[in-house]
Copies of this chain bind each other. A is one copy, B any other.
């Protein structure tokens, strides 16, 4: 990956939420070098921050887990779309970066990522052709994408038509769960699609992909992983020995323990895990479902790294306070934010025990405040979040703070 390709030209200006900078735009790198303090720096509320210590632990944890269990790792970049974070994941040993859309592939290629796994079917030949051109111009760049239907095969054929370049992106045949999301539903279809792609001059099937997310129990996940493994073996049997090992890639945020057991270290294929949310983890959904709850490391192996700081803007009734944040500032598709700490105007902090977010407007959160806890307008409160993907995408600039609340970086996101 290039050297911080996001920073040159990246300006933080007063139109960026959370940063209070009336004096005009400054480069993000200069901003980070200021070593501002979170609570008396150039910020307004609400403000989403990343806690450096948690980020570091989380990145290291999955790097170690995948290494120890014989899995390659292509963390899902859609979670953060932040070049500074993708860079950390790659530096920790990730094989590549997964993305969800053509535009995310374009963005991530712009960040300098060298290996992109586009985890969806591409129906637009222009996008496949773009990838072929990039790969041919830069032998160190690779893109893989999904095919799950004859229409996907037709898009490959259209892109390959007349192509004279050296290289062409590889197709992963997607297998899906009946009643689930995308992906061919049977082994027969997987093999037919692979055969059809391989019949296109210049194009090739390079493996099989699946997403176990729609499954809700361990037996179902194990069964699906075994189906995928069977698909790869059938693919190898169908086409005979080839030049390289095929790929077998799966999701795994909630099930990477089973992924490790079922396909970790497999020799007939390269097993690739695509988990993304682990990088910040959270205090809601992923805290509940992380496989570490079943592993010897325990549920605390990952730490919620995203903190939303908001100001109490009103305390109009006994037991009710309103914080100045809402649907614009944090995910609300899994749980509402989880109060962590109450920080008063004098800088003293107490746990926000018993405070609950009961309702969300666009720019306001309704807090239920227990008897005995005095919450006043002007107090700050920090919140853990549930579901990093729908929180990251609400912020264009996110300060990274150390455990002493000093701002050590300011990262940009691209959504």
Give complex CA distance A322, B110 in Å.
28
Q: Which residues of A from 101 to 156 have beta carbons under 8 Å from B?
A: 101-103, 106-107, 110, 120-121, 123-124, 126-127, 130, 148-149, 151-152, 155
A123-B311, A127-B44, A311-B123 in contact; A316/B377 too (CB < 8 A)? no
- Asked whether B313 lies within 8 Å of A121 as measured between CB atoms, the reply is yes
> Is A315's beta carbon under 8 Å from chain B?
yes
A248 to chain B, nearest CB (A): 20
Task: Tell me whether B316 and A183 are in contact (CB under 8 A).
Answer: yes
Judge whether A15 and B107 touch: CB under 8 Å.
yes
**Complex interface: chain B residues within 8 A of A317 (CB):** 178-179, 185
Complex contacts, A316 vs chain B, CB 8 Å: 148-149, 176, 181-185
Closest chain B residue, CB of each to CB of A119:
B363
A229 CA to B20 CA in the complex, in Å? 36
The interface residues of chain B lying within 8 Å CB-to-CB of A333 are 327, 332, 360
Task: Judge whether A88 is part of the interface by a CB distance below 8 angstroms.
Answer: no
Among B127, B148, B314, point to the contact of A314 (Cβ < 8 A): B148
Instruction: Report whether B149 and A314 are in contact in the complex, using a CB–CB cutoff of 8 Å.
Output: yes
Which residues in B have their C-beta under 8 angstroms from that of A185? 316-317
Most chain B CB inside 10 Å of its own CB: which residue of A22, A106, A313: A313
A364-B182 in contact (CB<8A): yes
- A59 CB → nearest B CB, Å: 21
**Of the residues B15, B110, B389, contact of A414 by C-beta under 8 Å:** B15
Interface size class of A (residues with CB under 8 A): 35 or more
Which of A182, A184, A311, A361 has the most chain B CB atoms closer than 10 A to its own CB? A182
Which residue of B148, B313, B394 contacts A120 across the interface (Cβ within 8 Å)? B313
Main secondary structure of the interface of A (DSSP, over half): loop
Known: A185-B316, A314-B121, A378-B123. A18 touches B103 (CB 8 A): yes
Docked CA distance A110–B378 (Å): 25
> Which residues of A are at the interface with B, using a C-beta cutoff of 8 A?
13-20, 22, 44-46, 78, 100-103, 106-107, 110, 120-121, 123-124, 126-127, 130, 148-149, 151-152, 155, 176, 178-179, 181-185, 213, 311-317, 322, 324, 327-328, 332-333, 360-364, 366, 376-378, 389-390, 393-394, 396, 414-415
The 20 sampled A-B contact pairs (Cβ below 8 Å) are A15-B106, A20-B103, A22-B106, A44-B103, A44-B124, A45-B124, A46-B101, A78-B362, A78-B363, A100-B363, A120-B363, A123-B313, A123-B377, A123-B378, A148-B316, A149-B316, A149-B377, A181-B322, A181-B361, A185-B316
